[in-house]
């Protein structure tokens, strides 16, 4: 498998607090990487640097062998890296279908001013993505009506409309009821598999990590403390103490 994302010496400090400490990292195509760590360990900071929301003090980010360090989020998205957020970023006053239509037109860099969204979007692609995330039956409802689990699915669906090669998900099951978590992840992972999208997901639920990750990276104090197969990383003494709180 070829390397899709690579960081070298990635470093960032806020005042005297080092939040990314010389991070060397590689992700291969097809992986499902779970990122774990206590709050403040540097997980989201790392994601923000990779997706262009933060610029590092030192180091380099490469995506598909190209240097993307310091590029804006929209330019990084157009290169094939998308992101979903812990709090879904939706157009709540629009219908589920319209949210996907807007995302699709953002990818195409064309937004209509005088014509309906439905006449300017790729209807078949919208239909396919709605089916992938099991939202076809709610496509004409306002996004504001969706329960949290389906809001998460819609956020991922909007990311898929951008045709990414890599999707980074910040806590995809946060706020989702215990009963719904596995159902949401089954749909998400099935959609990513169907579209051949590589994934990084930040997650605190160990059961979710064990079930859906092919690899785990544990963050402690702004650095990767352990990286490897889930059963190996989750059994690491330091990870069990500092990350899992055992």
Strands 32-36 and 198-202: parallel
User: Quick one: tokens of 213?
Assistant: 């990750």
Do the first three CATH levels of 1-70+214-246 and 80-203 match, i.e. the same topology?
yes
Dist. CA 105–CA 122, nearest whole Å:
9
User: Quick one: tokens of 98?
Assistant: 């319209």
- Residue 62 is classified by DSSP as E
Q: Give domain limits for the chain.
A: 1-70+214-246, 80-203
Dist. CA 21–CA 57, nearest whole Å:
10
Strands 198-202 and 215-220: unpaired
pTM for this one?
A: 0.90
The 10s digit of each residue's pLDDT in 41-93 is: 899 999 999 999 999 999 999 999 999 998 999 899 999 999 988 888 888 89
What kind and span of H or E run contains 218? strand 215-220
Answer yes or no: is pLDDT of 111 > 80.
Answer: no
Dist. CA 226–CA 236, nearest whole Å:
8
The 10s digit of each residue's pLDDT in 215-245 is: 999 999 999 999 999 999 999 999 999 999 8
Answer yes or no: is pLDDT of 113 > 90.
Answer: no
Work out the average pLDDT over 134-148. 95
User: Quick one: tokens of 107?
Assistant: 């990818």
The 10s digit of each residue's pLDDT in 154-174 is: 999 999 999 999 999 989 988
What CATH homologous superfamily does 80-203 map to?
P-loop containing nucleotide triphosphate hydrolases (3.40.50.300)
**What residues contact residue 34 under an 8 Å CB cut-off, 6+ apart?**
201, 202, 203, 208, 209, 212, 213, 215, 216, 217, 230
The full length of the chain comes to 246
pLDDT at 88: 80
Answer yes or no: is pLDDT of 112 > 60.
Answer: no
Instruction: Report the topology of domain 1-70+214-246.
Output: Rossmann fold (3.40.50)
pLDDT at 15: 85
Dist. CA 7–CA 151, nearest whole Å:
31
pLDDT at 40: 87
What kind and span of H or E run contains 237? helix 237-242
pLDDT at 122: 78
């Amino acid at each position: 498998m070829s390397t899709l994302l690579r960081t070298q010496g990635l470093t960032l400090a806020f005042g005297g607090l080092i939040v990314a400490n010389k991070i060397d990292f590689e992700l291969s195509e097809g992986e499902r990487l779970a990122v774990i760590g206590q709050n403040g360990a540097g997980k989201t900071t790392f994601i923000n640097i990779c997706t262009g929301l933060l610029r590092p003090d030192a180091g380099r980010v490469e995506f598909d062998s190209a240097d993307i360090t310091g590029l804006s989020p929209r330019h990084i998205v157009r290169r094939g890296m998308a992101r979903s957020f812990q709090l879904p970023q939706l157009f709540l006053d629009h219908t589920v279908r319209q949210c996907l239509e807007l995302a699709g037109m953002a990818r195409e860099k064309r937004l209509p001013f005088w014509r309906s969204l439905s006449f300017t979007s790729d209807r078949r692609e919208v239909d396919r993505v709605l089916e992938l995330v099991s939202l076809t039956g709610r496509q004409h409802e306002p996004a504001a009506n969706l329960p949290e689990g389906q809001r998460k699915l819609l956020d991922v669906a909007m990311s898929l409309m951008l045709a990414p090669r890599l999707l980074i998900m910040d806590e995809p099951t946060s706020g989702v009821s215990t009963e719904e978590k596995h159902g949401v992840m089954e749909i998400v992972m099935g959609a990513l598999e169907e579209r051949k999208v590589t994934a990084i997901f930040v997650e605190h639920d160990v059961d979710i990590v064990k079930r859906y990750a092919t690899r785990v990276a544990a963050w402690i104090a702004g650095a990767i403390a352990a990286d490897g197969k889930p059963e190996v990383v989750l059994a690491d003494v330091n990870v069990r103490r500092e990350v899992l709180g055992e």
